[in-house]
Amino acid sequence: MRDAIITLTTDFGEASPYVAAVKGVILGIHGAARIVDLSHEIPAHDVRAASFFLASSIVYFPPGVLHVVVVDPGVGSERALLFVEIGGHRLLAPDNGCWTELARRVGGAPRVIRLEDEGYWRQPVSATFHGRDILAPVAGWLSRGLDPALLGPVIAQWTSLNLPQPELTPNRLRGEVVFVDRFGNLITNIPAEPWASMAARGARIEVGAAEVAQISRTYADVAAGTVTALVSSSNTLEIAVAEGSAASRLGAKVGTRVQVTATG
C-alpha cells in the first residue's frame, strides 16, 4: 500500500535525537509504516531552502505517499500546521510556505486542511517540538487510512512563500542561484527554455561579476577546470566547473545574481 510510505524532510541534522523521536512516534501508531528519509540536512530554519528541496524532489514520487516536513522556525507560535494535497502528493507541514513553490510547479488547486483535532496528537504537546507531538502522530494515523477531513477544517488561505522570480525579457534574463549542490554546481531559477534559445543565437552569461564563456550539454563535454553553462536536471540554467566547484571558483552562493544578455 503506497499510503503506508511516509517520507521525512527536516532541518534537525543527522546527529540529533529529534529525528529518532519522530520515527518512534510514527511507528508507535502504525508499526507497518515504511519511513523513507529524504533529508535531515535542510539548512537550519531555512524555509526557502526547504521550498527548493521539496519542489525539486516531491514531484518524482508517486501519488499517495505522505511527506512530512519539519522545518519550523515558528514552532509554538500561532502558525498553523497543515495537511496539503496537491496533484496527488500529500504533505504535512507548518504553514510557513515551504510547500507553495511545489504547488506552483505541480499546478492545480491544493486541498489544504488546518490540523485542529487534538485527538490525533500526542499529549501533552511540547511548545518546541510539534514535529514529534503533532505531525508524527497525524502521519501515523493518515498512513493507517484516516480520512484527512477528520483532522480539521478545509482552509482557503495560507502562507505563500514569495520566491524571487526571474525577469525574462526578449534580450535579457535575470535570476539568481537558488541551490548549490555538493559538487559546487550552481542551480539557478532561470528556466532552460528562454535561456537555451538565447544562447543558441549568442549570449553573455554573468554570475555575479564573473563571465561564463562556455556552454555545454554536460560536464564531460568540456576540459577539466572549465566553467560552463548547461541545462540542470531541474530544467534550469546551471553553472558548473568540470571536475571542480563553480561555487568556489566564482565565489557564488545562494542568492548570487545571474544574468544572460543576448548578443546575437
Residues of this chain, 133-172, that bind a copy of itself according to CB under 8 A: 133
Residue located via cell numbers 525579457 = 169
Question: Which residue's CB is nearer to a copy of itself, number 48 or number 132?
Answer: 132
Kindly identify the residues of this chain, within the stretch 42-101, that bind a copy of itself according to CB under 8 A.
42-45, 52-53, 56-62, 65, 73-77, 79
Residue 62 carries which side chain, given as an amino acid letter?
Answer: P
123 binds a copy of itself (CB under 8 A): no
How far apart, in whole angstroms, are the C-alpha atoms of residue 166 and residue 46? 20
Which residues face 188 on adjacent strands? 177
Q: By C-alpha distance, which of 74, 69, 81, 154 is closest to 120? A: 81
223 binds a copy of itself (CB under 8 A): no
Is the distance from CB of 47 to CB of 97 less than 8 angstroms?
A: yes
Is the distance from CB of 144 to CB of 29 less than 8 angstroms?
A: yes
Q: Write down the least CB distance from residue 173 to a copy of itself, Å.
A: 20
Q: Figure out which of the listed residues 88, 109, 119, 126 binds a copy of itself, where binding follows CB under 8 A.
A: 126
What is the number of other CB atoms lying within 10 angstroms of the CB of residue 255?
10
Q: Write down the least CB distance from residue 249 to a copy of itself, Å.
A: 15
Kindly identify the residues of this chain, within the stretch 8-27, that bind a copy of itself according to CB under 8 A.
9, 11-21, 23-25, 27
Kindly identify the residues of this chain, within the stretch 225-244, that bind a copy of itself according to CB under 8 A.
230-233, 235, 238, 243
